[in-house]
Structure 1
Amino acid sequence: MSEVFAGKVGWITGASSGIGAALARALSGEGMHVILSGRDEARLAEVAQDCETETLVLPFDVRDEDAMHAATEKAIKWRGGVDLFVANAGISQRSRATQTAMQVYRNIIDIDLTAQIAATQALLPHFAVRGSGHLVFVSSVAGKIGIPLRTAYCAAKHGLVGYADALRAELSQSGVSVHVACPGSVATNVSRNALSADGSPRGRSDSVIDNGMPADEAARRILDGVASGEREIIVARGGESSWGEQRRTPDALFDQVAAMVANGYMDKIEGEG
């Protein structure tokens, strides 16, 4: 068991299936107590049954901020605090930009970006007081490069990377670490559940997804990256891995921005005017 996770508390959104469920099982196997959130309480309960440690099921829709804030309060009180938060909830897309309704963009950005930011913002005071912990954002290789038929999804996932990178810099002196995971094709229901041009569920999968990395392997790679302190974790094979690596942000650049914060950049800017 890794001392990074054992005996601590991890909270995962989008935990009812796919990477989220796999992360819950893997973290539980590492001795971490896990909080499972998503919309489907029955499926969350099934994931909880697969876990080896104590679990707490907190079902809610990530777009319902009142429910999210209530869940945050319960999560913090459950075992005295949250040590790791995984912003994993999301939905994808399969449609050409020229045919896609604007509401599809709004829905995907709301779920994949705005709701993940809102959930993190609700937890930030707790993490700041503790001065420790891990924030993990599940973006995508499509959050680093543009993939056809996914313009809304790419916009949201690129935005999540940007938020996480800026947040990492702001928290660089706090003891709280920020990690971005960028999976490529993982064998989940992501394509089947993706939105079509009119906003309806696509209802069928892609061969590249069906033949993708098993979710348990993706989860293991993410957790190994968190445990080793990787700030950007590329979780992909073959050509997708190459794409991700080509767009990986150099650690030296992250270090430069963190040094700005250490040298008083935020205080200086806030003090101007």
Structure 2
Amino acid sequence: MGGGTLPLVLTGLGVLLLYRILTRLRSRGSVQGVVVVITGASSGLGKECAKVFHAAGARLVLCGRDAGRLQQVVQELTASTSAKEKQVFPPSTVVFDLAKTDTIGKAAEEILKCYGHVDVLINNAGISYRGNILDTHISVQREVMETNYFGPISLTQALLPSMVHRRSGHIVVISSVQGKIAIPYRSAYAASKHATQAFFDCLRAEMEQYGIPVTVISPGYIQTNLSVNAVTGDGSKYGVLDKTTAAGQKPKDVAHAVLEAVCQRSSDVLLAGPLPSLAVYLRTLWPALFFKLMSSRARKEQKVK
């Protein structure tokens, strides 16, 4: 490079970096008074998201299958002292089963009645799976898809018209690293999350013209009961807290990351450690090696089983 070229390049990089920092700071919003709908809000990550968004001043609509457990969450939020610095609002609840897609239209109507509109929809509810493909009944594959894929897209499509009409709204879905890579003995779960990733990537492109951002958040393992409540090949519960799950991220930390992603109107967020993140890139850049590693993992897990 000539003597005057390098300073120009460095100056350009500096200006670009400053622009990105300023853009990120400018896009950092607030959820004070914002209507936020959270599915699967009675436990795990959904419950932690409810705590974090409530403390930030959001108007919550908590959704789940169990009315009693949702009311317990409401009581906890109402009694919490950590939210007293901001104006907070008593949460509303809507009870329905996300896997029963024929009831979601009515559930969406109830959700809209709470505040008249929805600003942010967080599709969080989901079910996991552990099993050998050879021993897994097709009904189990369907069950996982109904909860993890058809349920969220049905609720999203039911609420989208009101967002498009207002030219305002934000769609968020909690996917998984396994929506980007697939590992052995997780076929139904990985398939449902891959489908979820694809659908909401398409939705993001289609909603851009209406100013409605779509955020896909892909965490790694989280310290919840997801593996305990996972279904197996015959439909029974797995009932085991995996070591990887027990050593995963704290739900509170992931919930704060979800809040940040909403405030920044992020598009695609990968919340995983170095190895899962490396695997995502390896699947794209060196698939042959990735496939060998997964085959080796499958053999090791089979020996353990």
TM over 0.5: yes
Q: 1:32 aligns with which of 58, 64, 68?
A: 58
Q: Please, which runs of 5 or more residues in structure 2 have no aligned partner?
A: 1-27, 79-88, 285-305
What per-residue deviation string (whole Å, max 9, x for no partner) do you get for residues 72-96 of structure 1? 1121121221100011111010111
State the 1:3 CA deviation: 4.2
Structure 1 residue identity aligned to 2:224: T
Name the SS for the 1:234 alignment partner.
strand
Q: Which residue does 1:104 correspond to in 2? A: 140
Q: Which residue does 2:106 correspond to in 1? A: 70
After TM superposition, what 4+ stretches of structure 1 lie above 4 angstroms from structure 2? 244-248
Name the SS for the 2:248 alignment partner.
coil
Q: Which residue does 2:121 correspond to in 1? A: 85
State the 1:243 CA deviation: 3.1
Cα-Cα RMSD: 1.6
Q: Please, which runs of 5 or more residues in structure 1 have no aligned partner?
A: 249-273
Q: 1:50 aligns with which of 51, 68, 76?
A: 76
What per-residue deviation string (whole Å, max 9, x for no partner) do you get for residues 112-170 of structure 1? 00111111110010110111111001110000000111101111000001000001000
Q: Which residue does 1:94 correspond to in 2? A: 130
Q: Which residue does 1:270 correspond to in 2? A: none
The separation in 2 between residues aligned to 1:118 and 1:247, in whole angstroms, is: 30
Task: Give the structure with higher Rg (CA).
Answer: 2
State the 1:245 CA deviation: 6.0
Question: What is the TM-score normalised by the length of structure 2?
Answer: 0.77
Structure in which a larger fraction of residues adopt helix: 2
Question: What is the TM-score normalised by the length of structure 1?
Answer: 0.86
1:188 aligns with 2:224: yes
The separation in 1 between residues aligned to 2:37 and 2:167, in whole angstroms, is: 17
Q: Which residue does 2:273 correspond to in 1? A: 237
1:19 aligns with 2:55: no
1:222, 1:235 within 8 Å by CA — same for their partners in 2? no
The separation in 2 between residues aligned to 1:246 and 1:74, in whole angstroms, is: 44
After superposition, residues 1-273 of structure 1 pair within 5 angstroms as: 3-51=29-77, 53-244=89-280
The separation in 2 between residues aligned to 1:23 and 1:220, in whole angstroms, is: 7
Name the SS for the 2:159 alignment partner.
helix
The separation in 1 between residues aligned to 2:155 and 2:202, in whole angstroms, is: 16
What per-residue deviation string (whole Å, max 9, x for no partner) do you get for residues 216-252 of structure 1? 101111221221222111122232233346679xxxx
What per-residue deviation string (whole Å, max 9, x for no partner) do you get for residues 252-271 of structure 1? xxxxxxxxxxxxxxxxxxxx
Percent of aligned pairs with the same amino acid? 37
What is the number of equivalent residue pairs in this alignment?
Answer: 247
The separation in 1 between residues aligned to 2:50 and 2:279, in whole angstroms, is: 28
